[in-house]
Chain A
């Protein structure tokens, strides 16, 4: 498995993402001006503040040559994982539905929290079932750190996401750090090969930092390979 981790001016989590990927295969950085994804099996769009988050988080990164290449890669079924700022970039690029808004608290949040993976299809819980569902579900302990992580989409779009199993991760009940609609922490596209989430699995891959649950997020995206 060969991973490519994008690097924009202002990225700050690409090294941890590179380390996480290297635990599961080979990994290299892809500079934002580079369109060459040859030999790469999966792409990670990492966290940080690409292009200073000017205008809106992710708004400018979306037009970078590397992101144009990623759009083609994703359209061809290639697995793409967007983390935090990477999630914002994928939403701005239209590769994922919805948008990430300023945290309800207006404060930057930084904390370890529990995520509930929601598998696609019949296993994907509706928001009404989430408490019951989460009681039987292993949780992933992963840190979140962001100022603009409030997932938002119109209500009918949220209904459709739940209907189609496109909610990929939820904050465990009571742990929503930012006011995200329906406790949504991450979503996937309809085909399932593009996933974005606000919390940082790449910071939870070594016992030294308290949890290795983040690796399961990377493993899940690796499985999306066609």
Chain B
């Protein structure tokens, strides 16, 4: 079975304090970047998977902690 390339984006759930996002947001005006808000810092995982149907389970069990994080799965080379 050919492996499918996929990308998983993981970010803190809305409503959970994200101190990294806050710090980045706080640093931007000093560098002259104004008008930027709601910065959230998350993680990105790229992988190759033979059975993409299992990606959701993989995210729920390991890549994300569903209590505190949302995730999105992107398949990078087409396919259903």
Binary interface encoding of chain A residues 126-154 relative to chain B, with 1 for a CB under 8 A from any of its CBs, else 0: 00000000000000000000000010111
Interface residue range, chain A:
10 to 19
> B46-54, B61-69, B72-80: which one contacts chain A?
B61-69
Count of inter-chain pairs, beta carbons less than 8 A: 32
Q: Is the CB of A99 within 8 A of B17?
A: no
Q: Is the CB of A104 within 8 A of B65?
A: no
Give A46-66 interface residues, CB cut-off 8 Å to B.
Answer: 55-56, 59-60, 63
A153 to B66, CA, bound (A): 12
Where chain A touches its partner, the secondary structure class is: loop
Q: Is the CB of A101 within 8 A of B20?
A: no
Q: Is the CB of B20 within 8 A of A99?
A: no
Interface residue range, chain B:
10 to 19
- A103 CB to nearest B CB, Å: 7
Give A133-178 interface residues, CB cut-off 8 Å to B.
Answer: 150, 152-154
Q: Is the CB of B19 within 8 A of A105?
A: yes
Q: Is the CB of B23 within 8 A of A101?
A: no
Q: Is the CB of B16 within 8 A of A153?
A: no
Q: Is the CB of B19 within 8 A of A102?
A: yes
Binary interface encoding of chain A residues 93-136 relative to chain B, with 1 for a CB under 8 A from any of its CBs, else 0: 00000110111111000000000000000000000000000000
28 sampled A-B residue pairs with Cβ under 8 A: A55-B43, A55-B62, A56-B65, A59-B62, A59-B65, A60-B62, A92-B65, A98-B67, A99-B65, A99-B67, A99-B68, A101-B12, A101-B16, A101-B17, A101-B68, A102-B19, A103-B19, A104-B17, A104-B19, A105-B19, A106-B19, A106-B20, A106-B23, A150-B17, A152-B16, A153-B67, A154-B67, A179-B17
